[in-house]
Each structure stands twice: as C-alpha cells, then as structure tokens.
Structure 1
Amino acid sequence: MPLSGSGEPPAVQPLPVSFPVPDPAPPAPRRRGPDVERTAVDDGQLVFFGAETAEPSVADLAGLLVGPGKVHRMGGTARLSVVVDAGWRVHVLVAELAQRGVRATWAATEERRYAVRTAYARTLVPLAAAWLRGPTQHPPAGLHLDGRRLRLWLAAAGVADPPDFLLHLGGTDPMRWTVAGGALVAAGLSGELVEPGAGGPAYRIAGRRGLQRLAELVGGRPSAAPPAAWPTRD
C-alpha cells in the first residue's frame, strides 16, 4: 500500500485499501427550493437540517474541527488537517472534501494512522478566522451543528460502541468540549461526556431515540464505511 496520496482519481493516486475500493461518491444533492427546510428519509419521515437538506459548503468543515481536525493559517490562506484511524475514513473524507471544491492529500503515519490534509487555500480562511485565537483553536460562540457537519465529525472520529456511538472530540480544553456538547443538544442530540481516562474525550450518543436522531441527521452510510461503523435508522 502506498504511503501517501491525493484527492485525484484512484487511477492516478490510489487511496489506502483495507477492503474493496468504494463506488464513486454520489453527486451533491440539490436544494428543492428556498422554502424547503426538511428532507425525506428512507422510512418516509421528514427530518429537519439533515445532511441531505442543502448543498455541501466549506463551512461544513467545522464538523471536522469539533472532532480531531486542526486548522492552520499561512499568510492569506489556511489549511485543514485531520488524523484518522482507518482507510475507509480517508475514502469518505477525500470524497466529502472534493464535493466542497477542496483538494486533499493523505499520508500514512508512523502510528499506523492516516493524515488527511487540504491544500492551503483562501476559501478556508473564514473557517480559520472563526476557530483560531492566536495559536489556540476553540469553537466560535454560537457553534451550530447540522447534519452535514455531524456527518463529517462522524466520518472522522465516530466509533460504534454497541449499543451506543461515540463522537470523539479534539483538543484538551474542557471548555471546548462543553461548547460542542451544547451544539449537540441544540441539534436534538443529548450526549454524555466521556472523560479522557475513560476512553474519551468523546460524547456518547445512547438510547434508541438518540441513535435514530443521529442516523437521520448524518444521512445514509457512505459506500466506503463498513456497515457496523455507521448508525442506521432501524
């Protein structure tokens, strides 16, 4: 398996393969109109602010920064990076970034993980401006988590812990985790904070209603993700 790659098509730079190469990512969904605020899900119900509700945007990458993602500034540009623990996450993140017009590269780390990095770009500067206070990264006041942002957080750092799901957090500042927890509650997800010594930092999403809400918000499982790694609406 190669030790690095890019967001180019697999024939040029193959992504890490720990299972069959997934199908190409589906095209970004189109909005049905300015007055539509909810979208149909597989079981016929309607969900507010789900991942399929609107077209992907660069602002969605805030979901990665709630998790282990990091943003860096250089002059009038910025770059986002995130280290993940499985090849399928690389597939999903590179595809999600491409849907937002953001080119990404990846490299294997010495810890048998994968570092996904975007190029430095002006389009990422607003994200950096919102999250950086000097060298310190912290969620902006009024952080909002919708389905598209939660989908990216889950793709980067969501882990099934049957019967629950864990959404792993980034950073070491408890105040940062508190802001993320408040944003989860506002999205209709009441998570229990798991402390670092107990397998965190992470928020545990538990209970049938909580897991169903998570599944509705993040949308359908990407073809690259193993079935057990993604919540379902069952």
Structure 2
Amino acid sequence: MSQLSLFSAETEDPAIADLAGLLAAQGQSVHTATGARVSVVVPAAWRATAICAEILRTGLAAEDTVSEEGTPIARSEVTPRLTALHRQWSSGAVKSVPEGWLPSPRALRLWVIAAGAPDGVHYQLGLDPSAPDTHAPLSTALMRVGIAPTLVGVRGANPALRITGRKRRTRLVETVGEPPAGLDAAAAWPTPD
C-alpha cells in the first residue's frame, strides 16, 4: 500500500492550468477567434482516453479522436478559458515554457499520461521534438519540484527527461498518484523500483 504525498495529484482539485502538463510533453495549443484549444497526439488509445477524462475534470469538454494516420489524439474544446494558458506557453508561433513555471501535481500527472514510459530501471518523460528550446527549462522545472532528471535523446526523434534512482522515482510516483484504470496504463506508470 502506498502513502499519498501531501502534494499528490489525488489531493488537488483539477484546474485548467494543469493542462500545461500536456504542453510540457508533445501537446500543442492553438488560438482561434473564439478561444484556444489544447491537443496532444499520443502513441496509445488509453492515453487519449485518460487525458480526456482529466480534461473533463477541469470543467472543459474534451474528445478523443484518431488522426488520418490512425494515431490517437486527445483535445479540449475551443474556449476563451484556455486563452491565458495558450499565451503563457507561446512566444509568437513557437511553444515556450513560461518563466518560472513549476509543474503542479496534476500537470505532472498529465505529462506522465501523455508521454511517460519506463526505460529499464529508469523512467522517462517525453519532450516535444519540435520544440527543443523547451527541453532545458522543463528539466529545470522538474528539478525545482524535487525530481532531478537527465536530458536524453536530444539529437534523436525521442528527446526525454530520464528520472533515475529510487528516491526520484518515488517522488514522481507520490506526486502523480495512481495510474488510470487499465493494464496498459499500469504498465506505463512510474514505480519506485
């Protein structure tokens, strides 16, 4: 039986700002005349379903769909309520990490759902290969919440932040809480060991 951290995703109320966890991963935000939308392409259907459930918990509508290539996508509704988040994470047409951003437990949970995966004895949080300028600030943000990662794969198509060591992985597990329902989610979820 695991013990919840006082700063666990399971102890916080969902907030729209938590969708920044999707932007820390490979997610994108788009602004239109009627508001903004956050969407993320993910490698498995369970991830899109779990992300949509988390978006719904913030009070926004969400849908999971599939691209023309058959890749799962999770996205929020277009709403003015997401405009501030879009502006914080955009520098012109380029995604950028807001100065001083710290992932909330729920943002970190969304990041794990969207792009987390075990890597042997390590755990990796995927980064957006099309936004390399976000990699170092995201590494720093994780350090500031007590999870010091190593930046890996920056020259390849799968850059990530690798979390090594029992203490750091335990901190991650305590922060993000229990996995979404399903065997696929459990297999991709971080563990202390």
Normalising by structure 1, what TM-score?
0.76
C-alpha distance after superposition, 1:25-58 (max 9, x if no partner): xxxxxxxxxxxxxxxxx534x6242212320100
Aligned to 1:82: 40
Aligned to 1:218: 176
Percent identical among aligned pairs is: 37
Aligned to 2:189: 230
> What is the CA RMSD across the aligned residues, in angstroms?
1.8
User: Out of 81, 98, 101, which is 2:56 matched to?
Assistant: 98
Quick check: which has more Rg, 1 or 2? 1
Q: Structure 2 unaligned segments of length 5 or more: list them.
A: none
Higher relative contact order (CA 8 A, sep 6+): 2
Please report how far the alpha carbon of residue 77 of structure 1 lies from its aligned counterpart in structure 2 after TM superposition: 0.6
d(CA) in 2 for partners of 1:195, 1:90: 24
Aligned to 1:169: 127
Normalising by structure 2, what TM-score?
0.91
Aligned to 1:200: 158
Is the Cα–Cα contact under 8 Å of residues 216 and 233 in structure 1 kept in the other structure? no
Which structure shows the bigger proportion of residues in helix conformation? 2
User: Out of 72, 90, 109, which is 1:114 matched to?
Assistant: 72
Aligned to 2:2: 43
- The number of aligned residues is 192
d(CA) in 1 for partners of 2:37, 2:112: 20
C-alpha distance after superposition, 1:125-145 (max 9, x if no partner): 110111112211111101111
Aligned to 2:111: 153
Is the Cα–Cα contact under 8 Å of residues 63 and 76 in structure 2 kept in the other structure? yes
